[in-house]
Amino acid sequence: MAARSAIPEAPRKSVKSGHQQLFGRSIRGDWLSIRRLAIAALAVVLAGLGYAPPALAQPIYPIPEPDGFYWAPPDVGNFQPGDVIRSRSVNAVGFPGATAWQLLYRSTDSAGGPIAAVTTLLLPVGGGLDRPLVSYQPFVNSLGLQCAPSHSLFDGGMQEAPVLNLLLARGWAVTVPDHLGPTSAYGAARLGGRLTLDGIRAVKRFAPADLTASPVGMTGYSGGAMATGFAAAMAPEYAPELPIAGVAQGGVPVNLGKLAREAGSRPNPLFGLGFAATIGLEREYPAQLSMERFLNAEGWALRNQVANACTSEIIAAGANKDFDDVFNGSMFDADDATIRVMDENSLQTYPGVPRAAIYEWHGANDQQVDPWLAREVVGRYCAAGTPVLFDLIPGTDHTSAIFAGAPLAFAYLSDRFAGLPAPSNC
């Protein structure tokens, strides 16, 4: 791909680091809003029974996975991150000629404990030792385990699934991790990055795939780009042995606090996604995101309604709601623990810098995910020496940019696999 013009200047005030001023409002103000949303997501199932909940509530976890293949063995801690625990071949429905495997592998949760996760490996027709390997992270904005890619790839639930045939047609192997983890911790982006990297390790260690020395590419859009972006930023320290040739990520949300503020401060058609992300974060950080205030009746009902829902159900349930619809009480300062959780899962405040070359695209008319805030993040990567091609696609918003940018992303990865110099408009 030819290099684009230089990264365009943002037509607004620049974003400072840490907890400095953000577009005329402090980042702490964002934390106030995300904290309000966090509180609105933390409740217990007793609300519908007509009496007040207890002062502290436990996370609401998804209905357990009924398929024993997904279950971690008692000795999961004896495996190393990326080790394959068990594998099985599955029917590659929707991917003609491909061979499909599912691998259960060891990873680590955000508290440092061992967990088991699943990735689905698709191998194209024909042979080819050490063919390129692409880790594709879908936008799984869901709370139910049945929505995970290892299910939705084959049951028609994943809108992106047909696109993977374009990668297979290039002769590439494709791995698709369940990057929300074993509790569907939507919003826990750093966990998603770790699961992505350990999933790549597992595929490379899986002898029947013959991918031990394969060059690696990573790609994803929106929620999938959060996992992709964290995997890229974490890789130099967490998985330096992986030969990551290039990364293509689109529509990347880089600041959870700001995104939540914009989704909840007024009626928003996507309010349910922010609400669900807080439920997912509480699953991953139950000690930090504890209950301090209570939901109102509508909030309790929404929490229970979406606790096992997939993306479309979550969006429909929360459509055009705002904080005041689900929260009963006044705003108060966010505590340091909540701020740390948000920082840990926001690329804007995560200090890691990718070494692999990056293509990042956004819709020029995106009103849901701020492309100029993302520009500040890739500017930091540029300053550290990472080649970045930042692309605003004219005439597209957050929804349409995925289709406009995907062919460019795949071509970018193809050039990296071919060893061509990475273009940059840093």
Residue range 226-248: average pLDDT? 98
CATH of region 83-254+356-417 = 3.40.50.1820
Has residue 24 got a pLDDT over 70? no
Measured over the CA atoms of residue 305, residue 306, residue 310 and residue 311, the dihedral's sign is positive
Sort residue 281 into left (φ over 0), alpha (ψ -120 to 50) or beta. alpha
Nearest Cα neighbor of 252 from 390, 109, 108 is 390
Phi/psi of residue 390, nearest 5 degrees: -100, 125
Phi/psi of residue 127, nearest 5 degrees: -85, -165
CB 145 within 8 Å of CB 197: no
Q: How far apart are the first and last CA of the chain?
A: 15
Q: Is 69 exposed, middle or buried (0-12, 13-18, 19+ CB in 10 A)?
A: middle
CB 275 within 8 Å of CB 38: no
Has residue 19 got a pLDDT over 70? no
Of the listed ranges 87-96, 101-110, 331-340, the least confidently predicted one is 331-340
* Tens digit of each residue's pLDDT (9 = 90 or more) over 349-375: 999 999 999 999 999 998 888 888 899
Q: What percentage of the chain carries pLDDT values higher than 90? A: 68
Phi/psi of residue 369, nearest 5 degrees: -125, 120
Residue range 128-142: average pLDDT? 94
pLDDT classification of 335: cutoffs 50, 70, 90? low
Has residue 332 got a pLDDT over 60? no
Q: Which one-letter DSSP state was computed for residue 50? A: T
Q: Which residue has the tokens 């300053």?
A: 383
Nearest Cα neighbor of 281 from 40, 44, 53, 77 is 40
| Whole-number pLDDT of residue 151 | 97
Q: Which one-letter DSSP state was computed for residue 295? A: B
CB-CB neighbours of 286 under 10 Å: 15
pLDDT classification of 424: cutoffs 50, 70, 90? very high
Has residue 386 got a pLDDT over 80? yes
* Tens digit of each residue's pLDDT (9 = 90 or more) over 159-212: 899 999 999 999 999 999 999 999 999 999 999 999 999 999 999 999 999 999
Domain locations in the chain as residue ranges: 21-62+255-343, 83-254+356-417
CB-CB neighbours of 390 under 10 Å: 25
* Tens digit of each residue's pLDDT (9 = 90 or more) over 34-93: 444 444 443 333 333 333 444 445 789 999 999 999 999 999 999 999 999 999 999 999
Nearest Cα neighbor of 259 from 366, 391, 382 is 366
More confident residue, 53 or 145: 145
Phi/psi of residue 161, nearest 5 degrees: -50, -45
More confident residue, 5 or 422: 422
CB 235 within 8 Å of CB 200: no
| Whole-number pLDDT of residue 55 | 42
pLDDT classification of 29: cutoffs 50, 70, 90? very low
pTM of the model: 0.86
Average pLDDT over the chain reads 85
Task: Calculate the dihedral angle through the C-alpha atoms of 325, 310, 284, 319, rounding to the nearest 10 degrees.
Answer: -20
| Whole-number pLDDT of residue 126 | 82
| Whole-number pLDDT of residue 398 | 93
More confident residue, 103 or 373: 103
Residue 155 CB partners (closer than 8 Å, separation 6+): none
Coil vs helix vs strand at 155: helix
CB 282 within 8 Å of CB 256: no
Strands of 301-373 (E only): list them. 357-363
Has residue 257 got a pLDDT over 60? yes
* Tens digit of each residue's pLDDT (9 = 90 or more) over 261-308: 676 678 888 899 988 998 899 899 998 875 345 678 888 899 999 999
